[in-house]
Amino acid sequence: GESVGLHLPTLSVQEGDNSIINCAYSNSASDYFIWYKQESGKGPQFIIDIRSNMDKRQGQRVTVLLNKTVKHLSLQIAATQPGDSAVYFCAENRGSSNTGKLIFGQGTTLQVKP
């Protein structure tokens, strides 16, 4: 089926280090992207979003970068903490920004070592 691709299935980082999770998308018409965090046994939790008219957006300890030229998205987590351990999904809103049909990647598991 449709999907957005992530580069690595598992990322292991040391507590306190910065984490970078990457995502590639295929539809150049997509204009809205979201990162979700999913902990075991829970639904996806909204982290941060970005629209295609932006290259970068910052939140609390997180930054999303969008490179439309190569259709690449990344999530940077500063000073990674044990509570950041989870599966991270990028999702694109396929088509116009008002459709609400999110296409998800397969996820990257972030493991934080104490």
28 binds other proteins (CB under 8 A): no
End-to-end CA distance of the chain: 37
CB atoms near residue 80 (< 10 Å): 22
- Show the site string, 31-50: x = touches other proteins by CB under 8 A, - = not: -x-x-x----xxxxxx--x-
The tokens 């992207």 sit on which residue?
33
C-alpha separations of 74 from 5, 64, 98, 100 in Å: 12, 6, 23, 21
Query: Among the candidate windows 12-20, 53-61, 73-81, 100-108, which touches other proteins by CB under 8 A?
Result: 100-108
Query: Among the candidate windows 55-63, 66-74, 78-86, 102-110, which touches other proteins by CB under 8 A?
Result: 102-110
In angstroms, give the least distance from the CB of 82 to other proteins: 22
- What is d(CA 39, CA 52) in angstroms, rounded to the nearest whole number? 27
Residues that bind other proteins (CB under 8 A): 1-4, 32, 34, 36, 41-46, 49, 89, 91, 93, 97-107
